[in-house]
Chain A
């Protein structure tokens, strides 16, 4: 029994389906139960959260958690499916500390809101950036300019006319 099936056996109501992510077992779980499932898989020995990936699928947003167990040397991927209009899911920072930055990155670039995150703000882009670049409907034609304000904070604007630019 692979870890995804094990999880399905332990929490039959939370796991929607079991599949594969090419060569890794994958469990699709109900978004409301993410925290419960995360606690369970941590108990099962999955102590390392490798990566959190957000994927925009037009009608939905998928968030994929790739986990690894140092004790059992096993892989497991978890997937939650969120609404496209308001993607929200519980934060797993209380279980894996590395999720702090990974969730901030997913929030920044894909626009997924993680409820319960201690400090959910943009990480790679400056605060005030318009849109989330890795959404498929991101507006690439509007240029955005970043300047530094009086107190050293970033100021984002779509008006670059006051900047020095080579003619």
Chain B
């Protein structure tokens, strides 16, 4: 029976949209017939800032893109600049970079699990997730003084060496997390309500996921065996032992499972780094001076404020917790980038959402949306 459709507005201020995102839904009774996404409420013109700031000054702006996991943003931009300018990085600095990025991946997935469960009506997981996140944030605070906006990775190395007492704390964190992931799985994975809300909800096939530009864990939930850390290894990932986690089903539950597995793999990487991290310099001497660790006043190493990479263009990408994070940087031989373009995973993953939720109900939209895992700072830039 044909009934009149109803236009329903959801957002921009809504607890389940994780920020300022707006859905325009055309409803036939309870069934979603059309879904339009309106973004841009948090647009700050980060790419324009990139053209107005020097290469080094732009790094803090990248922290504000995906503020849940800011370290990969730092690194992705710095990697593009390093490729453009041909800067080499000491081995210890690479180890520290991977360490902080994998720690951030765990934080990201904890927040994702917590907020997903909260959206679906279970309030326990977010307490646990934020408890573990707090430990990790304190480690970041030890490392660079900031909890969420780090400005830590710099061209040619990292800003500071690991402080005293960091490694014991890391080892403790790894040991705790191993036990706690098991707890989470017992709490969530077999929960009947959770299974009913997520299984066969928001299904997307592998071909469609690729065509719609999905990347990262959301795509691996559809059975595409693809991880940039594996396919185009950057930094020290080629020396580390880990696997790209994957599920075949392509539904919300599969996307959730991939993330739980990824946390385990990240812990495995962290353990390897804790065991094998070499001694040495944390910054390329040619591009900066290492901090004089003897004196109490020298908390910062000094990087050259001014960079002039040769004319050229580069597109460089990494596997951020949410998917493929790419930076296109064009240089015209001056101290400022000519053009910075950010390919953010959240933005591109959202394109597939309307396709996934057609014919479902609004609570299913919440489940599918929660497992895509976006941050609005990353969508709107």
Question: Could you tell me which A residues sit within 8 Å of B by CB distance?
Answer: 21-24, 47-51, 53, 55-56, 64, 66, 70, 73, 77, 96-98, 100-102, 105, 109, 122-126, 133-134, 152
* A98 surroundings in chain B (CB, below 8 A): 211-213, 348, 351
Instruction: Give CA–CA (A21, B317) in the complex, Å.
Output: 13
Contact of A21 with B315 at beta-carbon distance under 8 Å, contacts A50-B326, A96-B213, A98-B213 already known: yes
For residue B339, CB closer than 8 A to chain A, the reply is: yes
Contact of A47 with B211 at beta-carbon distance under 8 Å, contacts A66-B326, A66-B328 already known: yes
Q: What 6 A-B pairs are tightest by C-beta distance, nearest first?
A: A98-B213, A51-B343, A22-B314, A124-B40, A53-B341, A124-B43
Question: Could you tell me which B residues sit within 8 Å of A by CB distance?
Answer: 9, 39-40, 43, 45, 47-48, 51, 83-84, 208, 210-213, 224, 226, 231-232, 312-317, 324, 326, 328, 330, 338-339, 341, 343, 347-348, 350-352, 380-381
* A64 surroundings in chain B (CB, below 8 A): 313, 315, 328
Say how far B184's CB is from chain A's closest CB, in angstroms: 31
Say how far A52's CB is from chain B's closest CB, in angstroms: 9
- In this complex, which of A21, A22, A47, A100 has the most chain B Cβ atoms within 10 angstroms of its Cβ? A22
Q: B210 touching A100 by the CB < 8 A rule? A: no
Contact among A50, A56, A97, A109 with B317 in the assembled complex (CB-CB below 8 Å)? A50
Nearest residue, chain A, Cβ from B52 = A140
* A70 surroundings in chain B (CB, below 8 A): 210, 224, 226
Contact among B39, B210, B212, B338 with A123 in the assembled complex (CB-CB below 8 Å)? B39
* A126 surroundings in chain B (CB, below 8 A): 40
Instruction: Give CA–CA (A66, B232) in the complex, Å.
Output: 15
Nearest residue, chain B, Cβ from A99 = B213
Q: B40 touching A55 by the CB < 8 A rule? A: no
Instruction: Give CA–CA (A93, B140) in the complex, Å.
Output: 42
Nearest residue, chain A, Cβ from B330 = A55
* B324 surroundings in chain A (CB, below 8 A): 50
Contact among B9, B40, B313, B315 with A50 in the assembled complex (CB-CB below 8 Å)? B315
Contact of A96 with B313 at beta-carbon distance under 8 Å, contacts A50-B326, A55-B338 already known: no
Say how far B310's CB is from chain A's closest CB, in angstroms: 10
Q: A50 touching B43 by the CB < 8 A rule? A: no
Q: B339 touching A53 by the CB < 8 A rule? A: yes
Instruction: Give CA–CA (A23, B314) in the complex, Å.
Output: 8
Contact among B39, B40, B210, B231 with A47 in the assembled complex (CB-CB below 8 Å)? B210
A-B contact pairs, 18 of them (CB 8 A): A22-B84, A22-B315, A48-B210, A50-B324, A51-B343, A53-B315, A53-B339, A53-B341, A55-B330, A64-B313, A66-B315, A66-B326, A101-B350, A109-B47, A123-B39, A125-B43, A134-B48, A152-B9
Say how far B107's CB is from chain A's closest CB, in angstroms: 25
Instruction: Give CA–CA (A4, B110) in the complex, Å.
Output: 42
Say how far B12's CB is from chain A's closest CB, in angstroms: 10
* A122 surroundings in chain B (CB, below 8 A): 40
Instruction: Give CA–CA (A101, B346) in the complex, Å.
Output: 12
Taking A50-B213, A98-B351 as known contacts, 17 extra A-B pairs with beta carbons closer than 8 A to each other, sorted by chain A number, are: A22-B84, A23-B314, A50-B317, A50-B326, A51-B328, A55-B338, A56-B339, A66-B328, A73-B232, A96-B211, A97-B351, A97-B352, A109-B47, A123-B39, A124-B380, A124-B381, A134-B51
